[in-house]
Amino acid sequence: MTKACRANWKYINGYVWRRMRIYSDVGIWTLIEDNKLAENLISNIIDQGWAVVEKPLKSDGFHLRSIKRIIINDKLGYYDRDITLFHELVHIFYGDKVKDEIVVEWIARKIRAHPQILRQAIRKFGLEEKIYDKPSYQAFSVYECNLDRQLEFDFAKGYFERFKVTIMDGMYSKVKKL
Ligand SMILES: [Zn+2]
């Protein structure tokens, strides 16, 4: 992963859309449009013996095909950890077919934003489940993930923060009474 990949979504999305005609030929929509394929990719990678190792690093992460390891910087926040994991999964899937780091990042962020795929990847690799945005809420809420439900609580913005509600071991627990 290079520095360019820490760019904001607007930049990454604009970059890819401007080059869509070139890149759609190499199948950059493949994993995005086929959730089952993305889920199977994760299962297959794990079946092949791939694992995630979190440790101190200078970069965000990388992967080593020879020993089937995805190495992730253990100091990353959870969103960055997750997009780094997906970035490396996209590299493993495409290999030399997609070398442009920004395009890899674009595919990675798109599939990370799908709750079922996110849930599968985090659980199968045995990583800590964390809620930090809408897809991760849908993936890891103790309420059953039913994607047809309304899940944005516009009437209760900041609810989790205000009431210090945290999610531990799949249970809601009040950590601190205000
Ligand atoms: Zn990369």
* 3-state secondary structure at position 167: strand
User: In the CATH hierarchy, which top-level class contains the domain 3-128?
Assistant: alpha beta
Alpha carbon of 86 to ligand 1 centroid (Å): 10
Q: Which amino acid is at 155?
A: F
Alpha carbon of 144 to ligand 1 centroid (Å): 33
pTM of the model: 0.79
pLDDT value for 177? 43
Question: What digits encode the pLDDT tens for the residues 8-62?
Answer: 999 999 999 999 988 888 889 999 999 899 999 999 999 999 999 999 999 999 9
Please tell me the distance from the alpha carbon of residue 172 to that of residue 178, in angstroms, as a whole number.
16
Contact predicate 175/166, CB 8 Å: yes
Contact predicate 167/131, CB 8 Å: yes
Contact predicate 79/62, CB 8 Å: no
In degrees and rounded to multiples of 5, residue 59 shows phi and psi of -100, 180
